[in-house]
Amino acid sequence: MEEQEKKQHRAKHSGPKAERKRRRRLGALGAGQEEEDARKRNPKAFAVQSAVRMARTFRRTQDLKTKKHHIPVVDRTPLEPPPVVVVVVGPPKVGKSTLVRCLIRNFTRQKLVEIRGPVTIVSGKKRRLTIIECGCDINTMIDLAKVADLVLMLIDASFGFEMETFEFLNICQVHGFPKIMGVLTHLDTFKNNKQLKKTKKKLKHRFWTEVYPGAKLFYLSGMVHGEYQKQEIHNLGRFISVMKFRPLTWQTSHPYVLADRMEDLTNPEDVRINPKCDRKISLYGYLRGAHLKTKSQIHVPGVGDFTVGDVSFLPDPCALPEQQKKRSLNEKEKLVYAPLSGVGGIVYDKDAVYIDLGGSHAHENEEEEVRPNHELVQSLISSHSTIDAKMASSKVSLFMDSRPLDSEDVEGQEFVMPKEEREIDLKTGRVRRKAVFEEEKENDDAVSDEEDDQEEEMSEDGSDGDDEDDAEEESDRELLGEEVAVGSAKRLKKEVTKEEAVNELPAFADSDDDLEMSSEGEGKTTPEENEMEEEDDDEQGSYENESSDSDSEAARRGVAKSEQDEISREHKEMKSETSCHSLKKKAVLTTDSGNCTAEEASESEVENSSMDEGDDEEGSHEESEFEVLDRKGFQRTQEKKIGSVKQTELEAVEDEEEDDVENLLKEEEEYEETIDFSADTAGALKWKEDLTQKAAQVFLRQQSTPNLRKLVYGAVAEDEDRESENEADELGGLFHVSRPDKESKQKANALDCSKFLIEKPQDWDLEEVMSSIRDCFVTGKWEEDKDAAKLLEEDEELYGDFEDLETGVVHKGKSAAEGDESGSEQEEKEGKKSKPEAEEEEKKKERMDKKRKLKEMFDAEYDEGDATYFDDLKEEMHKQAQLNRAEFEDQDDETRVQYEGFRPGMYVRIEIENVPCEFVLNFDPHYPIILGGLGNSEGNVGYVQLRLKKHRWYKKILKTRDPLILSLGWRRFQTIPMFYIEDHNGRHRLLKYTPQHMHCGATFWGPITPQGTGFLAVQSVSGTTPDFRIAATGVVLDLDKSITIVKKLKLTGFPFKIFKNTSFIKGMFNSQLEVAKFEGAAIRTVSGIRGQIKKALRAPAGAFRATFEDKLLMSDIVFVRTWYPVSIPAFYNPVTSLLKPAGEKDSWRGMKTTGQLRQERGIKLKQNKDSLYKPIVREKRHFNKLHIPKALQKALPFKNKPKNLEKKGKTPRDQWRPAVIREPHERKISALLSALSTVNNYKIKKAKVKHRQQLKEYLKVKQKEEEQKLKRQKEAKKKIYRMLGQREKKRQKSSLKGSSEGEKNM
Amino acid sequence: MSGRSQCLSYAGCNFLRQRLVLSTLSGRPLKIRKIRAKEEDPGLRDFEASFIRLIDKVTNGSRIEINQTGTTLYYQPGLLYGGSLEHDCSPSRSIGYYLESLLCLAPFMKHPLKIVLRGVTNDQVDPSVDVLKATALPLLKKFGIDGESLEIKINRRGMPPKGGGEILFACPVKKVLQPIQFTDPGKIKRIRGTAYSVRVSPQMANRMVESARSILNKFLPDIYIYTDHMKGVNSGKSPGFGLCLVAETINGTILSAELASNPQGQGAAVLPEELGQNCAKLLLEEVYRGGCVDSTNQSLALLLMTLGQQDVSKVLLGPLSPYTIEFLRHLRSFFQIMFKIEMKSPEEEHKGGEKVLMTCVGVGFSNLSKTIR
């Protein structure tokens, strides 16, 4: 990359920004008086007006603050997170594909023609996106909602919301709510601007109610040449690449992979023989969510459950740019990776591979340099068979005419060889046992440990027991390889490792170094040994030459090691790293290093038939060594230990030839003597008794890291392949690998006890032994940073300088320099480093420490006063997150994967076996393939209890025992739920249908999923309906293996004999035994009389005596109410929609409901006659006559007495009047008379009417006259009264006059 | 269902308890073959049968199949149920044998476990109830399994061979465990203990205390050993005495040691003085081994670390016992969890032997049995 000349930044000198900056600067200087805070300028305005009001506002702000709090969770996002999954959803024809294409173009400047499956792109310095389009098939929607981080929800503004949108929102809500961003398209169809505005607003508010108020809604105004406007897409891209995501519970607790590549690994021959055979496939993709462990369970929605076969991580095909300094991405860093759509170089066809040479810079050569891993990826991608397969098929012939070795053999060799070869040094006559390691077995550890022991004892200085058998074992393995390769009959050699107790060896201590060390350090090793080691050296050298492609700068050892690592791990695709076997030398004063576990030892005990011989021989051998080395100044304890070590060795040596037994027979006795001497309490053969424990114990004191790890887990970076173990029985047709049975490693049938017995306690009376734990007690010496005295001193240092103002005495603390000096002195005493720079460093460190301490004190005083519980919790989580990140950071991926599992963000390849062939045959990249990891026992099945509510938009109610398709966890499956409601007493009563607007419970038989997981139910995943498809939603409440649902069952009976309150009831039960079961049960009659079952009767079977609160009638029906447990059909049917042929993937049909079946086949339901409705016929009621007794009648008053209106009896016949029969003449007369009378009547009638009329008229006239008469009279009266009045007036007048006259007169 | 988790297969009766416990917790079925197949009396022993019965009691829906000779056991785990239970343990092993496994399972039940175990409370083979009470319960508390109902109560003491003891173990239910970082054992601040004696002279306990103190006083003045002499019906059916010692550090680490007298009629009689001294020495040995968890509870600590959230847990242990080593292997096969094992030699001289730092990432286990409301 060429360095670009960058323009220097020029600060603005004018404009608002510069102005603002200047003002700020002035303010900082204290010059900007006028800019002062209003609060200061006008304090009265901000004074407290009302305490109550203030309290209220305070409370409110606090409420708002706490509302914002979420429960803090540990942030488990990895440092290099996987690409963000962006799902583009929407109804058909809304512009999803166009949007995806535009986004890809926006980020990568590449135009993808056809997009199939997920597309991963680098969108920024720290962000990658995996964009995937979601079809309208509800299966796809469900699957993608579970893995989405961000949902782009496309809405056709010209049409409005469609059902798909709401369905998807609902699915999201159930499975954890990812970020959702709405995108309005087709806005150019609006011609009217006002209409457009209105629609936008309406849609926005509806969207807000669904998602959350203020959710982002994006507007794509229109298309230009079939694409969205560039600026708008750019803005959308900006939004996406700065978005933050909240972790979703399900996603963070489960690993998952959105596969972007699939390969069929089945043997073609198998397919040829049986085209329908189960397949073995590998799926590729970024691991997301949690850590994935090998051999864990996964579920592939739409296919089924599988066990992960083999997982390996690959170099990132779409890596983030490495340099972070630049502002924006280089064109070449804008990667796009979509193998399913043929981007990333290759398109797979059935029988060929096409390499795509598209892209803007496809022909540039720099690409290789920019992306160093590109080549590797390409090669990985372009290989037909995986490296595993290649490795498996490749063979190496070691000898001219030997059977070629294949990888399995090699693997077997390196992991399985439990062999121990024995060499006899001809010159010294020493027996050296070569441990040929098979990493799986701890056996070998034991052996190698033994070797260590031997070496130690051989070495003249009684230095430590170093446990570098790791290195040794490697070297040994390597040596073996060399030997075989050279084909010479050279004996295997072994180097004596020898270090100073204090020496820190570099990481890969191997033979070479040891040689150097030993030769230059002390000339104590025998010349023979030296020679041998040199030979070793040469061999290795030649070996190295052969392997020239290794890193040149690595040390020779390192090279050799890496080589051997390659050999050992060629089945891995990655080169093995060189640091995984880093060894730690340690300096231990004690001499014992009998590293052997109880199991191993015991195993050998069990197996070794000629144990005693071996013991003796070995013991004598040891003894001889002892003598040669002339170690005398050993303490008793040490000797004891050595003794036990020897015993260990005796035990562990198994396959030794007994060639030198005879030579050493003499020394046997001596050996035993020493043993006796050392073991104070033991009898003659007591030392043999608990050899295993002793050995284990001694070993355990001395275990070292890689050793211990190997002891526990077998090989370090090797996954336990039991298959390979079984296969590798013969090596190259030459060596027969004799391996003890795996089970016999530990005593299979030993006592199961967790106690860690101490068989050889140290002698705690001795002062040295006692002092070894002296500091474990509070009475012992304390560490510097915790010692009270020391702390006091330091405090003095910090606060020492002060002047007592009252007395004027100046107290001087110890100066810092002094402290430093003393520190350095101490250092020197410790005798570690005396170099000046080290001193400097130490000083610096001390200063830093002091500073930190001061800062902590300050913080404690001022900051942590108002730390709330919430803050503490957050802090704790933060610390944990940091620890999680830091713990395995320094380890390489290969090792790390073993501890943590595959961490999210890795690009992994997962092999799965036994996949139905339809998955491969009907593979359609448009449908997402998700590998969802399952937790512990989530692969099991049981009864799951749910809280369920029918969706309010779903039109029908759901029926118990109708199959329903649930989406729960990763899975989609059909099952038969039973609905129930919980009674007040906790009883789960079966319901026939879901309630309309209420939650109810449901139980089904299916996969166990953690409580609190949301689910949704649909009745069918096939076809399209205009209606809302989601039938119900809810949450898992409980998991169980038994059912708690009951339904009501009433047993009825009839009384057959009734006493006062006691009755005998029959017909309820069939036998005495049944009755006995129900004794004491409450019964009731239909009329409401309560009672109790007492005891069975003998006579009619099943009859019983019962008591009631009242006397029954014979017509009463008695019943007892019981609860009958309902059985739930064990029906669990995963929706295998991905197995359907292409084009029919959305047409999966499961079990049909009885209603559907009936309708299809035209089966009429046979109805119970009793439950049919009939016309109501009401009989006329008939009442009897009231009967009053005679006595009462007599007593009654007459008024109330029934009147004896007896019917007249029949008139006797003789009293009947004779019928009159008229003569014809008489008849005529009567007829005439009647006619005349009729006429007469008529006349009378007429006359009457006429008379009435006349009368009326007369009355009228009369009335008139009357009125007139009255009128006249009135007038007359008026006249008279007036006259009378006038006269009166006159009289008065006159009288008045008269009086006045009279006065005048007077 | 194609994806049933595959069955794990083992041979031999050793580590039966941890296999069954891990199988129950991980939900993976288990098959154990060749149980004492080549011995004179093949098959499961009475105490193992009793243990399997106990597992059956605390679970719901588990399937246990044993062949006719008792040499093969198939176990398909159900869900842990809990509740109030009673169990008569076989007197051939002490209650500790059963209690150790219950301690692993109890926090993950559906209902809080409250179980009465009857049998031998203290013997020479298994960790006694006293020790588990003193060490395992504080350990559980470290993982957040806390509450007033967490207790072990010794109602009656029973010594081998006849037993007759009775204890009550109650444990609350937890949904998730919290990770621990427990790498600094701290310094021992006090030593406590219990000297018990049943159906022997009450003076025995005092004699043990005296002798144990004589050794421990060289290290620490703060020693208090309770004497517990049970009488009458509380004293079980066999005579015996013993001592268990517990050392507690300033950081809450608890180390323990114990010794019990030989069962009646087996072996030579033990002097209480000798027993007290030996027990004190065992405690010193345990201190020498050191670590933050004492040697009997190593596997419990590692299990709870494994079952934690997906966070890093660390604990410093003394040398790993063979039982723990096998337990680690089993953890790997049941939970695919591998521990990072680092040797730590104490930086200072007088702090005992080598330590092992165990680090792991939890599996993110959650209690599937617990009901939510």
Average pLDDT over residues B153-168: 93
CB B127 within 8 A of CB B258: yes
Per-residue pLDDT for A736 more than 70? no
SS3 A819: helix
Chain B environment of A1007 (Cβ under 8 Å): 1
CA A961 to chain centre: 30
Cβ-based neighbours of A369, under 8 Å, separated by 6 or more: none
CB B17 within 8 A of CB B100: yes
What are the distances in angstroms from CA A1221 to CA A187, A1218, A1224, A1226, A1227?
110, 9, 10, 10, 9
Q: What is the pLDDT of residue A1247?
A: 96
CB A598 within 8 A of CB A691: no
Side by side, which strands form the sheet with B188-198? B223-230, B188-198, B240-249, B254-260
SS3 A991: coil
The strand ranges marked E within A1059-1134 are: 1062-1066, 1082-1085, 1090-1096, 1104-1108, 1118-1125, 1132-1134
CB A1055 within 8 A of CB A1063: yes
Average pLDDT over residues A1162-1185: 90
Size of interface A-B (CB pairs under 8 A): 283
Q: Pick the residue from chain B with its C-alpha nearest to A1040.
A: B79
Per-residue pLDDT for A664 more than 90? no
Cβ-based neighbours of B346, under 8 Å, separated by 6 or more: B290, B352, B353, B354, B355
Q: Is the Cβ pair B364, A935 closer than 8 Å?
A: yes
| B183 contacts chain A (CB < 8 A) | no
Distance of residue A882 Cα from the nearest chain B Cα, in angstroms? 10
Per-residue pLDDT for B334 more than 70? yes
Report the residue from B189, B319, B372 with minimal CB separation from A1012.
B372
Q: How many Cβ atoms sit within 10 Å of the Cβ of residue A97?
A: 13
Distance of residue A754 Cα from the nearest chain B Cα, in angstroms? 5
Q: Is the Cβ pair A1010, B366 closer than 8 Å?
A: yes
Per-residue pLDDT for A994 more than 80? yes
Per-residue pLDDT for A1202 more than 90? no
Task: Report the relative pairing of strands B312-317 and B181-182 from DSSP bridges.
Answer: parallel
pLDDT band at A384 (very low <50, low <70, confident <90, very high): low
Helices (DSSP H) in A243-357: which residue ranges?
249-253, 268-273
Chain A environment of B60 (Cβ under 8 Å): 1040-1042
Q: How many Cβ atoms sit within 10 Å of the Cβ of residue A1192?
A: 11
pLDDT band at B20 (very low <50, low <70, confident <90, very high): very high
Report the residue from A76, A758, A899 with minimal CB separation from B340.
A899
Average pLDDT over residues A22-49: 74
pLDDT band at A224 (very low <50, low <70, confident <90, very high): confident
More confident residue, A369 or A880: A880
Distance CA A112, CA A359 (A): 9
Q: Pick the residue from chain B with its C-alpha nearest to A898.
A: B338
pLDDT band at A195 (very low <50, low <70, confident <90, very high): very high
Residues found in chain A: 1306
Q: Is the Cβ pair B350, A772 closer than 8 Å?
A: yes
**Beta-ladder partners of B79:** B60
Q: In this structure, what token pair is assigned to residue A892?
A: 């390489």
Q: Pick the residue from chain B with its C-alpha nearest to A74.
A: B311
Q: Is the Cβ pair A743, B363 closer than 8 Å?
A: no
Position A730, amino acid: E
Cβ-based neighbours of A63, under 8 Å, separated by 6 or more: none
Distance CA A518, CA A514 (A): 6
DSSP B94: B
Q: Is the Cβ pair A703, B325 closer than 8 Å?
A: no
SS3 A468: coil
Q: What is the pLDDT of residue A1142?
A: 86
Q: Is the Cβ pair B348, A756 closer than 8 Å?
A: no
Closest CA to A576 of A568, A584, A588, A586: A568
| B312 contacts chain A (CB < 8 A) | yes
Average pLDDT over residues B74-79: 93
Instruction: Say whether the ipTM exceeds 0.85.
Output: yes
Q: Which of A749, A758, A887, A982 to mutate to test the interface with B (most CBs of B within 10 A)?
A: A749
Residue with tokens 């049998």: B119
pLDDT band at A773 (very low <50, low <70, confident <90, very high): confident
Per-residue pLDDT for B306 more than 60? yes
Per-residue pLDDT for A1241 more than 60? yes
Q: pLDDT tens for residues A570-625?
A: 444 433 333 333 333 333 333 333 333 334 434 444 344 334 444 444 444 444 44
pLDDT band at B73 (very low <50, low <70, confident <90, very high): very high
Q: In this structure, what token pair is assigned to residue A97?
A: 């594909």
CB B248 within 8 A of CB B292: no
Average pLDDT over residues B130-150: 93
Element (H, E) at A1015: strand A1014-1018
pLDDT band at A761 (very low <50, low <70, confident <90, very high): confident
Per-residue pLDDT for A806 more than 70? no
**Beta-ladder partners of A151:** A87, A180
Which range, A303-317, A480-494, A502-516, B295-309, has the best average confidence (pLDDT)? B295-309
SS3 A645: helix
Report the residue from A750, A761, A777 with minimal CB separation from B285.
A761
Q: Which of the residue ranges A391-405, A433-447, A1161-1175, A1291-1305 would you say has the lowest mean pLDDT?
A: A433-447
DSSP B152: E
What is the greatest pairwise CA distance in chain B? 66
Q: What is the pLDDT of residue A547?
A: 40
DSSP B232: G
Q: pLDDT tens for residues A895-910?
A: 888 888 999 999 999 9
Chain B environment of A975 (Cβ under 8 Å): none
Task: State chain A's mean pLDDT as an integer.
Answer: 74
Report the residue from B97, B321, B350 with minimal CB separation from A780.
B350
Q: pLDDT tens for residues A521-579?
A: 343 434 444 444 444 444 444 444 444 343 444 344 444 444 444 444 444 443 333 33
Chain B environment of A778 (Cβ under 8 Å): 187-189, 220, 250
- The radius of gyration of chain A's CA atoms, rounded to the nearest angstrom, is 53
Position A162, amino acid: E
Distance of residue B238 Cα from the nearest chain A Cα, in angstroms? 23
Q: Is A241 exposed, middle or buried (CB count within 10 Å of its CB: 0-12, 13-18, 19+)?
A: middle
Q: What is the DSSP string of A174-219?
A: HT---EEEEEEE-GGG---HHHHHHHHHHHHHHHHHHS-TT--EEE
Query: First-to-last CA distance in chain A?
Result: 158
CB A280 within 8 A of CB A265: yes
Distance CA A1185, CA A807 (A): 128
Average pLDDT over residues A240-268: 90
Q: pLDDT tens for residues B106-128?
A: 999 999 999 999 999 999 999 99
CB B350 within 8 A of CB A771: yes
CA B212 to chain centre: 24
Average pLDDT over residues A1143-1163: 91
Residues found in chain B: 373
More confident residue, A122 or A633: A122
Angle at Cα B108 formed by Cα B87 and Cα A876, nearest 5°?
A: 140
Distance CA A209, CA A308 (A): 42
Query: First-to-last CA distance in chain B?
Result: 30
Side by side, which strands form the sheet with B30-33? B8-11, B30-33, B73-76, B63-66
Q: Which of B25, B47, B311, B330 to mutate to test the interface with A (most CBs of A within 10 A)?
A: B311
Distance CA A26, CA A35 (A): 10
Q: What is the pLDDT of residue A5?
A: 73
Q: What is the pLDDT of residue A386?
A: 55
Chain A environment of B368 (Cβ under 8 Å): 937, 1008, 1010-1011, 1039
Q: In this structure, what token pair is assigned to residue A667?
A: 């020394």
Distance CA A1134, CA B42 (A): 44
Distance CA B48, CA B59 (A): 17
Q: What is the DSSP string of B175-202?
A: S-PPP-EE-----EEEEEEEEEEESS-T
CB B7 within 8 A of CB B32: no
In which region does residue B61 sit, left (phi positive, over 0), alpha (psi from -120 to 50) or beta (all else)? left
Angle at Cα A1242 formed by Cα A1239 and Cα A1243, nearest 5°?
A: 90
Report the residue from B4, B312, B338 with minimal CB separation from A883.
B312
pLDDT band at A173 (very low <50, low <70, confident <90, very high): very high
- The radius of gyration of chain B's CA atoms, rounded to the nearest angstrom, is 21
Which range, A549-553, A1260-1264, A1292-1296, has the best average confidence (pLDDT)? A1260-1264
More confident residue, A1175 or A1210: A1175
| B360 contacts chain A (CB < 8 A) | yes
Distance CA A1033, CA A1030 (A): 8
Q: Is the Cβ pair B320, A700 closer than 8 Å?
A: yes
Angle in degrees, 0-180, between the axes of helices B95-105 and B16-26, rounded to the nearest 10: 20
**Beta-ladder partners of A182:** A153, A217
Q: Pick the residue from chain B with its C-alpha nearest to A1039.
A: B369
Per-residue pLDDT for A119 more than 50? yes
DSSP A1207: P
What is the greatest pairwise CA distance in chain A? 203
